[in-house]
């Protein structure tokens, strides 16, 4: 791949998604779009860049962003966040809070929002609380998997056994057994495709909790600034922002109090 072609792809990815591909990502880009080039019968990366740059309806750009995006996730990832979430929600329920709105801003294939749904259901118990989780991601392929809500046994290893039997159904299929999320969890979640780099965000109702974990590492400071400004606008006073353990909003955190690394309270 010519350097100019790589720079063209980098620019297009940044323009459409806010993802900042490092100079060391050329091999990754080359490998991930090669299969698509074969499907389109395109012989050169230059031809693919021309093809995707002239994509009128946006479908090819969407496909490219999908394959280039990294979608690494699992149930109970960074488990300390869910321990803290449990305490926050139980405290709110004890204070007679009767409505909770939560956003999983980079939901990938569903493990994070379903973990959120489990923990919210467990923390609320028999109390009457109207709970909704908005789960968004840029990539249609992972959203499709999330909506399906079927996971192999190894994917569910982090889920405590009592919660696995309570919230999942084991289903036998030709290729082996899978675990399907029960409808009561699915009913708590609204999955939508969403581009975090495009502001202002369309949400109108204020949010109690935002999980935006392990996605800001792919953005430059300018895009991160836009994200944090929108999170600040959308969160209620006393609402919480969770970011990845390897992430920080230092220098962008006006209006937030850092409770511990990666957890912020809107003041």
Same-domain check for residues 118 and 231: yes
- Where residue 32 falls among pLDDT bands split at 50, 70, 90? confident
Within a 10 A sphere around the Cβ of 14, how many other Cβ atoms? 16
Residue 50: inside a domain = yes
Mean pLDDT of 7-29: 90
- High-pLDDT (> 70) share of the chain, %: 99
Specify whether the CB–CB gap between 219 and 19 falls below 8 A.
yes
Mapping DSSP to helix (H, G, I), strand (E, B) and coil, where does residue 248 land? Answer: coil
**Strand partners for 266:** 256
16 plus 140 within the same structural domain: no
- What would the mean pLDDT of 223-235 be, rounded to a whole number? 95
Mean pLDDT of 94-114: 96
Question: Could you tell me if 25 and 74 are in contact, meaning their C-beta atoms sit under 8 angstroms apart?
Answer: no
CB atoms within 10 A of CB 223: 19
> Mean pLDDT, to the nearest integer, of 132-159?
94
> Is a pLDDT exceeding 80 seen at residue 209?
yes
Query: Which member of 32, 36, 86, 90 is catalytic?
Result: 32
Are residues 37 and 130 part of one domain? Answer: no
Q: At residue 173, does pLDDT exceed 80?
A: no
- For the chain, what is the radius of gyration of the CA atoms? 20
Region 33-55: mean pLDDT is 91
- For residue 259, is it within any domain? yes
pLDDT (average), residues 182-205: 94
Residue 114, pLDDT > 90, answer yes
| Rounded Cα gap, residues 263 and 14, in angstroms | 27
Does the annotation count 32 as an active-site position?
Answer: yes
**Count of domains observed in the chain:** 2
Residues 19 and 93 in one domain: no
Q: Are 50 and 44 in contact (CB under 8 A)?
A: no
The residue with greater pLDDT, 183 or 172, is: 183
Mean of the pLDDT values across residues 50-75? 85
What spatial distance separates the first Cα and last Cα of the chain, rounded to whole Å?
A: 49
What percent of the chain is modeled with pLDDT above 90? 73
Alpha carbon distance 86, 116 (integer Å): 10
Q: How confident is the model at residue 205 (pLDDT cuts 50, 70, 90)?
A: confident
Burial readout 131-154 (b: 16 or more C-beta within 10 A, e: otherwise): bebbbbbbbeebbebbeebebeee
192 in any annotated domain:
yes
Q: Tell me, what's the pLDDT at 22? A: 86
**In the structure, what pLDDT confidence band is assigned to residue 250 with cuts at 50, 70 and 90?**
confident
Q: Which residue has the higher pLDDT, 61 or 208?
A: 208
Check whether residue 107 and residue 52 sit in a common domain: no
DSSP state at residue 81: H
81-85, 131-135, 253-257: segment of lowest average pLDDT:
253-257
3-state secondary structure of 251: coil
Q: What residues contact residue 125 under an 8 Å CB cut-off, 6+ apart? A: 93
pLDDT tier, 175 (very low <50, low <70, confident <90, very high otherwise): confident
Question: What sign does the dihedral 53-57-58-59 (CA atoms) show?
Answer: negative
Average predicted confidence (pLDDT) for the chain: 92
Q: Are residues 113 and 169 in the same domain?
A: yes
For residues 115 and 190, state if they share a domain.
Answer: yes
Strand 150-151, strand 130-137: pairing: unpaired
Q: Determine, yes or no, domain membership for 33.
A: yes
CA neighbor of 133 nearest in space, from 181, 168, 175:
181
Please tell me which residue in 66, 101, 137, 224 is annotated as part of the active site. Answer: 137
Residue length, the chain? 267
| Under 8 Å between Cβ of 56 and 137 | no
Mean pLDDT on 244-261:
91
Per-residue pLDDT, 208: 98
Domain span including residue 32:
3-68
**pTM given for the model:** 0.89
Do residue 149 and residue 21 come from a single domain? no
pLDDT at 137 over 80: yes
Tell me the three state secondary structure of residue 263: strand
Are 220 and 164 in a shared domain?
Answer: yes
Q: List, for residues 65-76, the tens digit of each pLDDT value.
A: 888 876 778 999
Q: Which of 68, 95, 110 is the last residue of a domain?
A: 68
CB atoms within 10 A of CB 77: 18
pLDDT given at position 177: 85
Is the same domain home to 206 and 235?
A: yes
């Amino acid at each position: 791949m010519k350097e100019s072609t790589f720079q063209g792809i980098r620019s297009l990815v940044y323009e459409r998604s806010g993802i900042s591909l490092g100079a060391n990502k050329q091999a990754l880009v080359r490998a991930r779009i090669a299969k698509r080039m074969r499907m389109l019968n395109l012989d050169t990366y230059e031809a693919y860049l021309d093809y995707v740059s002239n994509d009128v309806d946006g479908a090819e750009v969407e496909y490219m962003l999908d394959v280039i995006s990294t979608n690494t996730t699992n149930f109970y990832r960074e488990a300390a966040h869910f321990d803290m979430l449990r305490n926050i929600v139980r405290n709110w329920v004890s204070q007679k809070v009767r409505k909770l709105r939560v956003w999983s801003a980079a939901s990938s294939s569903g493990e994070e929002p379903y973990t959120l749904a489990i923990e919210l259901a467990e923390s609320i118990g028999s109390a009457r609380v109207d709970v909704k989780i908005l789960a968004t991601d840029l990539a249609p392929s992972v959203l499709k998997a999330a909506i399906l809500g079927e996971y192999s046994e190894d994917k569910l290893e982090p889920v405590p056994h009592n919660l696995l039997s309570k919230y999942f159904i084991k289903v036998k299929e030709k290729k082996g057994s899978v675990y399907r999320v029960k409808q009561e969890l699915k009913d708590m979640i609204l999955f939508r495709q969403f581009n975090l780099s495009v502001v202002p965000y369309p949400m109108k109702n204020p949010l109690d909790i935002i999980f935006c974990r392990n996605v800001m590492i792919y953005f430059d400071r300018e895009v991160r600034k836009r994200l944090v400004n929108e999170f600040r606008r959308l969160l209620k006073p006393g609402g919480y922002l969770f970011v990845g353990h390897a992430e920080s909003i230092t220098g962008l955190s006006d209006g937030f109090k850092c409770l511990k690394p990666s957890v912020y309270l809107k003041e």
